[in-house]
Chains A and B, each alone.
Chain A
Amino acid sequence: MPVVRLQQVTYYYPLTETPALQDINLEIEEGEFIAVIGPNGAGKSTLCYTLAGFIPHFYKGELQGTVEVDGRSTQDSNLSDWVLRVGLVFQNPFNQISGAKYTVFEEVAFGLENRGVPRNEMIQRVEEVLEMTGIADLAARSPYSLSGGQQQRVALASILVMQPKVLVLDEPTSQMDPIGTREVFGVIRKMAQKGMTVVMAEHKMEWIAQFADRVIALWEGKIFLEGKPQQVLTDERLAEKGFGVSRYTTTARLALSRGLWQAERPLPVTLEEAVSGFAAIRNGQSKGKP
């Protein structure tokens, strides 16, 4: 049975005429890692907010259809209960710091204080999560004194500590360098392996190809493509619709048109796949020549 189920979801922001999401039907199984891609304005953030309950509880406007997690719908729940089912992490790590706490430890505990979790349990859960996200050594630091990558891991820890069933991330690594990206992806993968359901808006194709179970491509508020990462990310219609495309895919497509890529071989998304593809061509050629 799917944990997340969206049926015929259409959403208009207040005072807008065109829907930011249109006829979205989506079912997500427990433990699945879904990546959402799309050009600017495609509705990725809107989809994230809808799953996390901020639409319709924070952003008003008109929401049609049903959004269900664990058999309950957002419309019938209040936001402060919903955040226990679906946790949301977003782009700018700086704005996710509560601003009311002086140390990372306190910052991560903030959500548990709000939920009235007893102190002993609180400390234990915060320690576990700090360990898991690899920021235990930052516990006593001020959240403001950290680098962007560290702050994003604090934001992630602050949500994970609340143990949501579904973790929604809206471009969590877009302001991060490769090291920060790897750190954040590492933690998320660990969570996914533990059975947490993950939905992540992201445009770093190579990372998606390595981590996601399924990719959803949004375009003008609609689901335009959906399927296995390799299949969706190498679809030739992506580039013309303004989606980002991995440079390895672009390279291999050009190589294919010049006969430098094996026609039966799927196009690559990652460096690894590209290298082994080109290696296969060379080996094939050297075998062909006496």
Chain B
Amino acid sequence: MHERLSFYVKRESPLHQLNPLTKLTLIFGLILPAFLVPFYWTPHLLLVLVVFPLAFLGKVQGEYFNAATRLILPAAGFLFVMQALFIPGGEVVLARVWFLTLTQESLLYAFANAVRIFVMISSFTLFMLTTHPSELMSDLTRRGLPGQFAYVIIATLQIIPQMQAKANTIIAAQRSRGLDTESSFSRRIRALVPLVGPLVFGSLVEVEERAIAIEARGFTSRLPKTSLREISDRPLDKGLRWLLLAMMLASLLSRIWFS
């Protein structure tokens, strides 16, 4: 159960080979134009012409479309309905339900926004599917991100499934002593209180030992660190990053220019 601690899917693909920073830039190279460029169909075109093909390029289309239909689509769909119904204004009234009016303008606006959100979550999903967290952190540490900072991020990413497993153990232990975790909602909330203590205090005691353990391995040494993972940063990566940066700047300018 603990084997899978990240979303990362190990494959050989051009997207996997990109430097993590390049992929990080790519995320923002997609999000910024989607939100900023004044041309209405920008997010839609980005989604169909860039995001979807990227999923195939990264050979993670199966995982991606699975996440897209089960997670991203409902989120974007919810946003679409809310905005279409509740954004005021617009002249071309399409329908009236009780006090709500659906206008053509609000419909279009909501549609574009939903697709923007779709693009945004999709970019992050593709990033996580094709980038190993250790690789990202090693690369960022090499570029000057403080080691402690990287440690906190990675450890937090890993601690969630651990806490879950521990909570399950405690629940099982408490239940075997007659704790009610299966009846009505409010009773269950009250029943959770005795679980918090062991979970939190157990963790605090462990923090001291954990601190000693990583210290015993020279974590705070001031010598320059090296990395087991070899992270490629090809000229292609550098070129791509500049290009993406230029595109972000262009979308920003287009926004200022045309409005």
Contact = CB atoms under 8 A, between A and B. Distances in A.
Interface of A: 52, 54, 58, 79-81, 83-84, 87-88, 90, 92, 94-102, 105-106, 109-119, 122-123, 126, 141-142, 144-145, 155, 158-159, 162
A244 B219 CA distance: 37
A145 B217 contact: no
Interface string B215-243: 11111111111111110000000000000
Given A80-B222, A83-B218, A88-B216, A113 B228 contact: yes
Which applies to chain A's interface (DSSP): helix, strand, loop or mixed? helix
28 contacts: A52-B216, A54-B215, A54-B216, A58-B215, A79-B220, A80-B218, A80-B219, A88-B216, A92-B206, A95-B209, A96-B210, A99-B155, A99-B158, A99-B210, A100-B154, A102-B5, A102-B6, A102-B134, A112-B226, A113-B225, A113-B226, A114-B218, A116-B221, A145-B1, A145-B3, A155-B213, A162-B217, A162-B218
Given A95-B206, A144-B5, A158 B134 contact: no
Contacts of B3: 141-142, 145
Contacts of B78: none
A144 B162 contact: yes
A109 B221 contact: no
Given A99-B159, A144-B162, A116 B214 contact: no
Q: Most chain-A Cβ atoms within 10 A of its Cβ — which of B158, B218, B230?
A: B218
* Shortest 6 CB-CB contacts between residues of A and residues of B: A111-B217, A80-B221, A95-B209, A114-B218, A144-B2, A96-B213
B18 to A, nearest CB: 20
Given A99-B155, A141-B3, A142-B3, A119 B227 contact: yes
A102 B228 CA distance: 12
Contacts, number: 120
A140 B215 CA distance: 24
B217 to A, nearest CB: 4
Contacts of B210: 95-96, 99
Nearest to B218: A114
A109 B209 contact: no
Contacts of A144: 2, 5, 158, 161-162
Contacts of A88: 212, 216
A12 B210 CA distance: 23
Contacts of A101: 134
A105 B229 CA distance: 11
B133 interface: yes
Nearest to B155: A99
Interface centre among A95, A123, A155 (most CB of B within 10 A): A95
Interface string B187-224: 00000000000000000001001111111111111111
B167 to A, nearest CB: 15
Given A80-B218, A95-B210, A99-B210, A113 B2 contact: no
- Best-surrounded residue of A90, A94, A99, A141 (most CB of chain B within 10 A): A99
Contact of A115 (B2, B137, B215, B221): B221
A122 B151 contact: no
A83 B215 contact: yes
Nearest to B222: A80
Nearest to A110: B217
